[in-house]
Structures are given as structure tokens and as C-alpha cells.
A and B are shown apart, each in its own frame.
Chain A
């Protein structure tokens, strides 16, 4: 009744033909079957944000999706963000502002905040803090992450103008 099923998973523009049990989390399939270990796994119940990927361009917890659900959809992981060898605005700002220590939370933060900044190009510090509430960081105390997001926002606005 619940044997493995064949699926075609489109990740970062590439097709993966896989055989998966329906209960396999998208996060696990990305890491174990596609070899894309940039997607991190913390809590597996939606709280920490480390596993966030883009699902049809929108941030989504990959631990709250099953890989079978991703058929016919486009998944984008952190590996695609600096694919051309150039860091994204959020990545560059995190680097400059020392917005990471161990880096466990970083992929989820980059994926989430790039999408959020595209929708909220001119955020206040309070808005940045609220947006970051969905990504837990156990190292930095958030201060430098907030500074990095503000910097990335300013830089994005500058390059858009």
C-alpha cells in the first residue's frame, strides 16, 4: 500500500529521477538522494527554518513537504543561489557583517530573506526582526544578522535604482 513510487524532481533546474517512499521528507530526499546538503535539518517540525527552500519561487519548509508532493514543481535550494560564483546580496552582507558563526542557520536565512526583501524592499529594523522570527540561530544573537539584512536591503535598493 505504501511502496516506493517513481518521481521526477526538478531541483535547481535539473531533473532527478528517483524512487521514493511517500513518507520521505523533501529535506531528506534533497540531502540524501540529490546530494544537496546545503539544505540543513534542525527540528523537522517547521520551527527552526534551517531547511527552507524555494517551492515554485516561494519559501517553504522542506521538512513539511514530502518529496512526492514536489512532482511538477520547481525546487530551488541554497546551492543555486550563488551558482554563478557571485554571492547574492544577503550572502555578501552576511559575510561582511559577520552574520554567521557555525553557519547552520545560514542557508535558510539566505533563502527566506532574499524572497522577503524582494517583497519588502525598504524594511525597518523592527520589520527585519519580525521576518527573522522564523529562522532560529543559536550562535550569533541575531544582532549581526539584522545588520546584514539592513545592508542587503540598502544595497538591493541602490542597485535597483
Chain B
């Protein structure tokens, strides 16, 4: 349980960090909170020649507003997302989901950028990013680009990040008027990774009709999935609890769920339908 040898750098600026990444690429690993990477290093599941520690870059730990976007720095810790009043008011799903990750001590270190880059199929923050159509802002020595969450998660622990790229921030849409949200997960013990999780965001028009819907589920396969299309819900139609219940059943029936010896797909299918029902009910309640 001791890591293989590595060299260690703690660059003082973002430019220095990007230069190191450009030089070492696949030979180096970025370390943020270390809550996923350090276990893998200690178990020698990964053996990078070099660690590039980004904890000394405070410019990655801010939350700012850019028009209708909340720009959340990659180094924001789960615990800070959970208690930040601006995040709670403007992107409440993110605050709520961050507060459910692992345990209290884990949340003090783990970061938003680390969670997205690690891309565990059952992780909370990748699901929230996908559900809200967030954009992941990444930088390399060559420049910056924004990757839509839909294109970011490629497979288990695999993302669209190039080896010389760093996540600097994530751009979440700010909660709008008459917009309700919900984040629901199920795990057997507090702090375990979720067996299934659902994130829902819906907006109503003034007359109570559905104006917009975003629905996503995690823990079902290699990457989180958008399931709005499976729900049968159409915009312009009045929303009701009955419609929400039918939509949850439809999602449960149609979602693609990977077979898994530990947690049978049929069991997760029922979990998904129940979580979707609770999430849609709660989002509807909050939108009214």
C-alpha cells in the first residue's frame, strides 16, 4: 500500500502548471484533492513518474458569475460547494449533490475538477454536469476550449481531456424563474458510491405547462446518461404528478442498464424508476 516512486512539482502559477503538463504529458498526473488519485497511487494501480500538484493555484478556487452562467473553479472542494451561499442560491443542485459525496473528511479535500476528470460512473458531480448541460472549461499551454458535458464523459474513468489539458472551471447554468430541481441517489450505506442516482431540472411556463426538462441518471453503465427522451414528457403540455409518475415508469422501463453481478440490472431498473419519480415530484414542487 505504498506508491511507486514519483517526482513532485507544486507549480506556483497556472502557466507553470500548464508548461509542466505540456512537457510531461502522459508521464505526469495532476493531483487536486487526491481523494481518488492517492488511493490508486497507494495501491499502485497507477504509477506516474511525476505528480503536478495544483493545490497552490487559488485562481482555480473561485466562483464567479458570467451572464446566465455560474463559473465554478475546478479546485472548489465538495464541502465548500455544499456550504457556499452563492452556489446554493444559483445552482442548488450542485450544492446538494456535493454534500452527498463520500464522508465529511473526504468532502474537505475532494474537488469539482478532480471528480469530473476521474469520471467514476456512479459519481455525483459528473451526473450534475451532464444533467445541467454544463460546459467544462479546459486549458493547455496551447490555449483554452469549452467541452459540453455531453461530449466529456467517454467511458469508465475516461474523458475527452487531452494529456496536456487541465480543467480550470465548470460553467453551470444559473437557476431560472419557475425552475425546479432535484437530486436523488440510493446507496446501501451512507458515503458509499450510489447504486443509482437521478438528477432532474424542469421549468414551467406561467400557465403551468412544461417549458423545459433535463433528466439524467448515473450508476447504470459506464457513463452518466441523459434520459429526458425516454420520459415521454413533451414541452407545452400541462405538468401534473400523474404525468411525472408515468414519465418515471417510462424511464425505468426503457433505460439502458448494464448487467452487473453485484447489483442486478432489474434491481437497478426499479431503483431508477423510484428515484425518477421522487426527483420529478420534488422538482415539480420546487418549480411551482
The finding on whether chains A and B are genuine partners in a shared complex, rather than unrelated, reads yes
A-side residues, CB < 8 A to B, are 1-2, 5, 21-23, 25, 28, 43-46, 49, 52, 55, 58-61, 63-66, 68-69, 71, 112, 115-116, 129-131, 133-135
7 interchain residue pairs of minimum CB distance = A134-B103, A22-B8, A45-B39, A64-B38, A133-B190, A44-B1, A59-B105
Give 11 CB contacts A-B under 8 Å. A2-B7, A23-B5, A45-B1, A49-B105, A64-B109, A66-B8, A69-B8, A69-B34, A134-B102, A134-B191, A135-B103
Is B43 in contact with A45, judged by CB distance below 8 angstroms? yes
Chain B residues with Cβ under 8 A from A61's Cβ?
35, 38, 105-106, 109
Q: In this complex, which of A55, A58, A129 has the most chain B Cβ atoms within 10 angstroms of its Cβ?
A: A58
A60 to B103 Cα, complex, angstroms = 11
**Which residues of chain B in 19-58 are interfacial with respect to chain A, using CB atoms and an 8 Å cutoff?**
31, 34-35, 38-39, 41-43, 49-51, 53, 55
B262 touches A (CB below 8 Å): no
Taking a contact as CB atoms under 8 Å apart, the answer to whether A23 and B105 are in contact is no
How many residues of chain B have a CB within 8 Å of chain A? 33
Contact A23 B3 (CB under 8 A): yes
A133 to B101, CA, bound (A): 12
Interface contact A134-B105, CB-CB below 8 Å: yes
CB neighbours of A1 from chain B (8 A): 5, 7, 49-50
Instruction: Give the contacts of B98-118 with A (CB-CB under 8 A).
Output: 102-106, 108-109
Complex Cα gap A95–B135 (Å): 51
In the bound complex, do residue B35 and residue A46 qualify as a contact, i.e. CB atoms below 8 Å apart? yes
Nearest B residue to A60, CB-CB: B109
Q: Does B10 contact A (CB under 8 A)?
A: yes
A22 and B1 alpha carbons, distance in the complex (Å): 15
A65 neighbours in B (Cβ, 8 Å)? 34, 38
Residues of B within 8 A of A43 (CB): 1
**Is B237 among interface residues, defined by CB-CB distance under 8 A?**
no
Q: How far is the CB of B2 from chain A (nearest CB, A)?
A: 7
Q: Is the CB of B189 within 8 A of A133?
A: yes
Residue among B1, B42, B50 with the highest chain A CB neighbour number at 10 A: B42
